[in-house]
Each structure stands twice: as structure tokens, then as C-alpha cells.
Amino acid sequence: MNLPAHALALPDRSGSIAHARRAWLHGEVQARADAALPPWIARSWQRCLAAGRSPRERVMFEAVPRTAAAAAQERCGSFLGAARPVLERLSRAIAGTHYFALLTDADGVVIEVGALHGQDDRAMRDIARVGVDLSERAVGTTAIGAALAERSPVWLHRGEHFFEDTGVYTCAGAPVFDPAGRCVGMLDLTGVNVVERPELQHLAQHAAQAIQNAWLRSLPCALLLQVNWPGSLAPLDAAADSDGLLCLDADGRVLGANAMARQLLPLPAPGRAEAVQAGDLFAVPPSLLFDAAARHPAPVEVPLWSGLRLHVRAQRRDVQAAPRLRDVQASLIRQAVQDARGNVAEAARALGVSRATIYRRLAAGQHRR
């Protein structure tokens, strides 16, 4: 079949990648000066080398007991609930490319696998399994490890993997953030010995944002705010990737926000447990936002304390009772302690609070039970 000109293969990068591998991984120091390598790949290769790994090591994909696979999914119930409809749509979009989708937790462990479209390849079966560890520490440089380390979307060609054994994979990845702004995992699109499709990086990023937005919209809250610069808001109930989303409880306290809202508004660093009121963000009383939801289906212009102005569309949500702020904070703290494997000092650093605060909040939560 003759392909149209715009569908021809991209320029071959194998020569430049091979040169970079000789320079950085096989010690040809003289070649290093002109060995072009994206900085994030160089950082990953250097971490692998610092850990004493060799590119020619064999990579073993360990068997995953059913109990371990079930436990991996159980830890991520809310994440998976938001992600599964997105993965279903994504799998249909990439069905003709021989790529498939993986979802991992923050440790790089696979928690969900998209449709495989009848493919039967050993390299595919090695990684397309719930519970398998695809972190950088386990399999070297991958889109999975890079997206989790860099907190940004990546595209990785076959030869840019650290280990030669993983050089059959080509992959795109994007991190996924929860409503508190913490990175909880990543979305990966992988192909085995397939044509490079760098445009999948944008698709992975778009799908990751869709998961974040679906997760945020699933939160029980009193008011959902859709925010953007004037003239930029998407239609009602169809927030675009560029729209900020913000959930408020009945008292105007912030329960969650997506990544774009965190860029548009002066929200605290992700994961911090401090209470944030809508009045801390917008230079109007929160009651006006609730009134806007009842009276104005169109967006209204709202000032920020900085003097900037945003368009805001407010939607009342039908909930019986919004979660109390202290319960949301306690949930964040419990999750941080779990992520730190019980290390309270590490959890405290991640949240930006003292260890005493964590012990006090956990004790209060147990007392209420």
C-alpha cells in the first residue's frame, strides 16, 4: 500500500541515539560533548548508573501473585473509578496503532491495563499485567519512571530506554494528579516494535487530564467552579483541558482542584493540609458564587485579590452532605502516611506540616470513630 506523504515515517533517530548510548552508557568520553540527549533522559540514565546498573543486564519481569494484583487495585479505588471510562475511550482511539494503555500507581506498579486488541507478544505480556513493577528501579528508564520523576508528559523512543532488553518498547506517558494535587500515578501508551508516533504524548496528556477532571467531578461537593481567563471557558459540562475546576463545600472551603486551577489561582502547594476558603482566592464573598450558580448559567467575571479577573461558571451539585474539611484533611494525611510506608517524618515533609500535626490529626480521627 502506498502511504500519503504526510504518513511517511519520521526521520530516523537511531544513529543519534546510538551515539548518545556510546557516550553516556558505554564510557566513550570523547563522544559525550556532542551527544545530544534530552536532559530528563540524561537524568534517568545517570540515576540508573549511580545505582550500579549496566545497560546489558537482563531485565526480569517477575510473576505477580493474584493477591498482590488485587491489593494494588484496592489501594487506588477512586483513581480507577475515574480512569476506567477514560481508558475505554482511549483504547478505541489507539486500536489501529498497535499501542496499548497502562495505568500505574505512584510507585510505578501497574493497576489497570487497557484493551490489547488481540495482540499476542511476549514483550507485551511481560508488562501488560496488573501488579507488575515497571518503576525505574525495576526496569530502568521508561516513560513510566520518567513521567513520575519529572511530573510532566514524556515521549520515549526504543533506544532511549536504559536497558537493552527494554529497547523493543516505544512509549508515551503523562502523570495523573488527584484532587489534592498530589501525583498518584501515570498513564502510559506503549507499543512493541512499532512505528514511532510522538503525537501520542499529547494524547496521553489529554487522557491524564480527563482522568483528573472526572475524579474531581465525582467528589461530593456543594459547588463546582469552572474557571479560566475571560473568553476562554468551554461550554457548560464540557470543561476543556485548559479550564480550571474547583470543588467547594457548603461553607465555601476548597475540597479539590485540577492542575489548571492550581495555575490560575493562588492555591497552596499540592498535598498541604491547610484549609483554603474561596474568599482567600476570589475578592468576593463565597455567597456570591453560590448566587451565581442559581442565577447565571453563563460565566460571570470575578476579581482575584491580585487585581486579575477570571471568568467563573458556578454549578450547584446535588449532594446530601459535603465532606467536612477535617475529614478531607484526615484522608490526605492517612494517604500520605500510607504512601510513605508508615514513615511519619517523610509524610510530614511531603505535606509541609510537623510530625506532631500528623500524630494529632490521626489520633483525632481514631477518636471520632
Instruction: Give me the average pLDDT of each 10-residue run along the chain (369 residues).
Output: 42 69 69 67 92 93 83 89 95 92 95 83 91 94 95 93 93 95 96 91 95 93 93 72 90 93 90 80 92 82 95 79 57 76 79 75 59
Nearest in space to 138 (alpha carbons), one of 114, 263, 148 = 148
Which grid coordinates belong to 288?
A: 456570591
How distant is the alpha carbon of residue 359 from its chain centre? Answer: 29
pLDDT of residue 173: 96
pLDDT of residue 348: 77
Query: Which CA distances in Å does 343 have to 12, 71, 106, 203, 347?
Result: 47, 20, 16, 36, 6
Nearest in space to 118 (alpha carbons), one of 128, 130, 131 = 128
CA 153, CA 208: separation in Å to the nearest integer? 9
- Given a contact cutoff of 8 angstroms between Cβ atoms, the answer to whether 289 and 314 are in contact is yes
CA 232, CA 227: separation in Å to the nearest integer? 9
> What domains does the chain contain, in order, with CATH numbers?
56-215 (3.30.450.40), 219-316 (no CATH), 325-368 (1.10.10)
Helical pair 143-150 and 39-50, crossing angle rounded to 10 deg: 100
pLDDT of residue 335: 76
pLDDT of residue 277: 92
pLDDT of residue 344: 81
Which grid coordinates belong to 358?
A: 500528623
Alpha helices in 29-139 (DSSP H): 29-32, 39-50, 66-74, 77-93, 122-127, 136-139
CA 159, CA 163: separation in Å to the nearest integer? 9
